[in-house]
Amino acid sequence: MLYINNIIKKLPYTDPFLFVDGLQSVTENTIEGSYTFKKDEFFYMGHFKEHAVTPGVILTECCAQIGLVCLGIYLLDGQEETTGNFQVALSSSEMQFLLPVYPLEKVTVKSNKVYFRFNKLKCEVKMYNQQAQLVCKGVLSGMLKNSDI
């Protein structure tokens, strides 16, 4: 199985669109990871004029990168021989936003697999702030594959 620290290296993202700092745990059914939003992230400049708030689409992306893609990479590695070149397509998202996330806040994403078959992964995701308050939650689905196979 793929060692936990190598999962992030296999992500098909890089700065400024990588929203994973670390993974705390991963199993065949769950994953937990975190990200700290830097004060100079590209999306804060215009969202909003006087008081920067992390856009919901970025919170969704952070949840997808940790809760769907990282877990999918782990699961694919257990199924087939992989080279580390993964392709990802988010197929559906249904998110509820409960609290704002501001610059310099660290968030933790916890994800539970609903199913994984025919390379389609569906997960229930939850994001928490540093005070362990639920920031957002939802269900994400996507298709994942090793692009070299």
Active-site residues: which are they? 47
Chain centroid, CA 81 distance in Å = 23
Helix (H) or strand (E) holding 34, with range, is strand 30-36
Rounded Cα distance between 116 and 114, Å, is: 7
Helix (H) or strand (E) holding 134, with range, is strand 134-146
**CB proximity list for 145: less than 8 A, separation 6 or greater:** 76, 86, 87, 119
Residue for token pair 């939650």: 137
**Of the candidates 52, 56, 65, 58, the residue with the CA atom closest to the CA atom of residue 20:** 65
Residue 2 has φ and ψ, to the nearest 5°, of -65, 125
